[in-house]
Chain A
Amino acid sequence: MARILSILVGLFFTVALAWSFGKGAYQQITEPPAATAEHEFHLLPKEVSFASDGAFGKFDRQQLQRGFQVYKEVCSVCHAIRHVAFRDLAALGYNDAEVKAIAKGFQVPVYNNATGEVNTREGMTTDYFPPVMYGGQGTPPDLSLITKARHEGPAYVYSLLTGYQDQPAELLKKFPDSKTPDGLHYNPYFANLNLAMPPPLTADGQVTYSDGTKATKDQMAKDVSAFLIWTAEPKLEKRKQTGWPVLGFLLFATILGYMSYRNIWAGKKH
């Protein structure tokens, strides 16, 4: 009885699935889904490597400072990094006076309880990077976590910044309806190929690095990506550095554990 009931319930689900499968397969054959421009022209991020990659990876502080400079002079016009406080910048190798000066260069909002007005004052080291007001097309996302919030984040940011190009003629031929709309910009690394952000890094030498590094577009893109790896996970270096002694200890303890296991079970067949 239980068996018959079970088989009936089994048939209920399997027949329903077979029905779904059959109809799906039929649809697939009669009306195969149309190809889309996104599907054919979207590219995965380029190969690029950073000093912080790998199990022994460490931040290149010089590069983080350059990246911060690119962020400050270029990206910060539209994008905030609200999870980062000015005091955090000490980790990039700036001294107290430099951190203070950087904070001072930003205006942070203060709400006046008496008048209800929002005014601004100079930033202090304890402040977080202030919000950025933006009136243009699209909504520039906060960048603090961007390299964790995208697949292969660091390579994605680098590829996006260096990936602007004219729309391929082939694409327009195949998908005439997919012409990049006015005000958007073609970039094959962006999921739907057209994004509102205009190319931010337009010319070599757009920022002037104080450490003598040549500010090519490629270099600036790499540096700011490195900086955004740091903003997304300031503790990355510490994490990797903690991992090794922990694994070393565990390996040692596990070998001891294995030896005592062998010792205790010696002579006991199992």
Chain B
Amino acid sequence: MSFPWAKEYKPSHPFMQWMDDRLPLPRLVYNSVGGGYPVPRNLNYFWNFGFLAALCLVLQIVTGIVMAMHYAANTQVAFDTVEQTVRDVNWGWMMRYAHANGASAFFVVIYVHIFRGFFYGSYKAPREMVWLLGVVIFLLMMATAFMGYVLPWGQMSFWGAKVITGLFGAIPFVGEPLQQWLLGGFAPDNAALNRFFSLHYLLPFVIVGVVILHIWALHIPGSSNPTGVEVKTESDTVPFYPYYVAKDGWAIGVFAILFCTALFFFPNALGHPDNYIPANPMSTPAHIVPEWYFWPFYAILRAFTQDFFFIPAKLMGVLAMFGAILVWFFLPWLDRSPVRSGSYRPLYRKFFFFGLIPAMAVLFYCGGAPAAEPYVMFSQIAALYYFAHFLIVIPIVSAIEKPDPLPFSITESVLGHDEGAQLRPAHGATEAVHGEA
């Protein structure tokens, strides 16, 4: 892995030498996020979001573990134990708001991270595995967030759980028994709450595991970059430390300022007021909506209002809702354009900015709105474009598009010239010789 000019770890302290001989953990760190990992010099700020995502994951685990110390997964008391945490535990209010808003921050960061991938073609060879693991992480995150939202056992917790687990009931033949098996009953109750808590505690650590694979897979070819042109010589890269440590470091600062502004001054802005009402199975809320980060997929679910031939509308909605994420798995093979970056793909770029982004915006908006007209019609049009984009537009565009000329190398795109690279055979970093910046 890595490039031939990557610096080698040389322990300077005898203890580190001793350690390196026995368990080369310092070497692993050095080669992953230290001076031993060369990274393209031209990454823009969209490449900071992977690091921010990792930060969010740590934040969620830390605040979550503290809250779990004060929480009881029992329908009789769950709501009250959360209130007691907020009222009587030292800094409990801060832990709770940090955890709730942290989930939102995590999804903001992840959506940027994913759409960075869409635009810059990060999912293409040789990074398909990075992408596939990313989609797995996203699915795990959604499952984790969904179950976490059930834990305080407020009105939206209960009714959200009821609606979402009810989706399994749409599966032909096995649907209903499956739903009862998942819930441990006919409706969400103590059995469901307990298993949700158990899984909500487990899944973040599964995510940690998949993130490790994700970064491992990434470090085989190394990061892509805004031009999408692969690294050729040393002058295309800078060592992760200190360059990207400094850049990620100050990006964390900006992120933390925005996050803390929400946490300390608008902690309930993204939450639904109904979840401050204890769960009541006898009283259905006027509008059942999930948390904002599920809205695009919730809008897709509700966009299917008519049976389609022999397929009931509800089953269509469920298929489409899961399908909307599952298509991402196929993206590396649907997009056959040899050019990665949207910056050099005039046609793809148009569909991205004037098709996918507006469609996503409409789906976000309508997913949070009541299931009434005109929102349903808007989400139908937007969902139609969403599926067309991935399954029809991308395969066709990538076949007919004439890309703009690419820069010869990263160095050339940055400096306007690249003497180092032009003198040498251009195929593959392994053959490249050390160049100077």
Task: Choose from B41, B249, B252, B336 the contact partner of A268 (Cβ within 8 Å).
Answer: B41
Binds B, one of A58-66, A207-215, A253-261: A253-261
Q: Which residues of A contact B334 (CB under 8 A)?
A: 2-3, 6
Do residues A235 and B86 form an inter-chain contact, with CB atoms below 8 A?
yes
Q: Which residues of A contact B238 (CB under 8 A)?
A: 268, 270
Do residues B41 and A234 form an inter-chain contact, with CB atoms below 8 A?
no
List residues 128-152 of chain A with CB under 8 A from any CB of chain B.
Answer: 141, 144-145, 148-151
Do residues B399 and A18 form an inter-chain contact, with CB atoms below 8 A?
no
Given A242-B264, A261-B246, check contact A270 B414 (CB 8 Å).
yes
> Is A191 an interface residue when CB atoms closer than 8 A count as contact?
yes
> Is A28 an interface residue when CB atoms closer than 8 A count as contact?
yes
Give the nearest-CB partner of A84 in chain B: B87
Do residues B387 and A10 form an inter-chain contact, with CB atoms below 8 A?
yes
List residues 8-55 of chain A with CB under 8 A from any CB of chain B.
Answer: 9-11, 13-21, 23-25, 28, 33, 55
User: Interface residues of A toward B: which range?
Assistant: 35 or more
Given A83-B87, A239-B93, A264-B243, check contact A254 B414 (CB 8 Å).
no
Given A250-B256, A253-B253, A270-B414, check contact A20 B330 (CB 8 Å).
no
> Is B316 an interface residue when CB atoms closer than 8 A count as contact?
yes
Give the nearest-CB partner of A267 in chain B: B437
> Is B17 an interface residue when CB atoms closer than 8 A count as contact?
no
> Is B199 an interface residue when CB atoms closer than 8 A count as contact?
no
Task: Choose from A14, A25, A149 the contact partner of B274 (Cβ within 8 Å).
Answer: A149
Do residues A16 and B316 form an inter-chain contact, with CB atoms below 8 A?
yes
Do residues A24 and B252 form an inter-chain contact, with CB atoms below 8 A?
no
Do residues A151 and B273 form an inter-chain contact, with CB atoms below 8 A?
yes
Do residues B377 and A9 form an inter-chain contact, with CB atoms below 8 A?
no
> Is B4 an interface residue when CB atoms closer than 8 A count as contact?
no
Do residues B250 and A148 form an inter-chain contact, with CB atoms below 8 A?
no
C-alpha spacing A55/B261, complex, angstroms: 10
> Is A97 an interface residue when CB atoms closer than 8 A count as contact?
no
Do residues A21 and B87 form an inter-chain contact, with CB atoms below 8 A?
no
Do residues B253 and A148 form an inter-chain contact, with CB atoms below 8 A?
no
Give the nearest-CB partner of B87 in chain A: A234
> Is B5 an interface residue when CB atoms closer than 8 A count as contact?
no
Do residues A17 and B276 form an inter-chain contact, with CB atoms below 8 A?
no
Do residues A23 and B306 form an inter-chain contact, with CB atoms below 8 A?
yes
The distance from the CB of A264 to the nearest CB of chain B, in whole angstroms, is 4
Q: Which residues of A contact B304 (CB under 8 A)?
A: 16-17, 20
Do residues B253 and A3 form an inter-chain contact, with CB atoms below 8 A?
no
Do residues B387 and A257 form an inter-chain contact, with CB atoms below 8 A?
no
Q: Which residues of B contact A203 (CB under 8 A)?
A: none
Q: Which residues of B contact A25 (CB under 8 A)?
A: 377
> Is A251 an interface residue when CB atoms closer than 8 A count as contact?
yes
Which residues of B are interface residues toward A (Cβ below 8 A)?
41-43, 80, 83, 86-87, 93-94, 97, 238, 242-243, 246-247, 249-250, 252-254, 256-257, 260-261, 263-265, 267-268, 273-274, 276-277, 286, 303-306, 308, 311, 313, 316, 320, 323, 330, 333-334, 336, 372-373, 376-377, 380-381, 383-384, 387-388, 390-392, 395-396, 399, 414-415, 437
Which residues of A are interface residues toward B (Cβ below 8 A)?
2-3, 6-7, 9-11, 13-21, 23-25, 28, 33, 55, 83, 88, 141, 144-145, 148-151, 153, 191, 232-235, 238-240, 242-243, 246-247, 250-251, 253-254, 257-258, 260-261, 264-265, 268-270
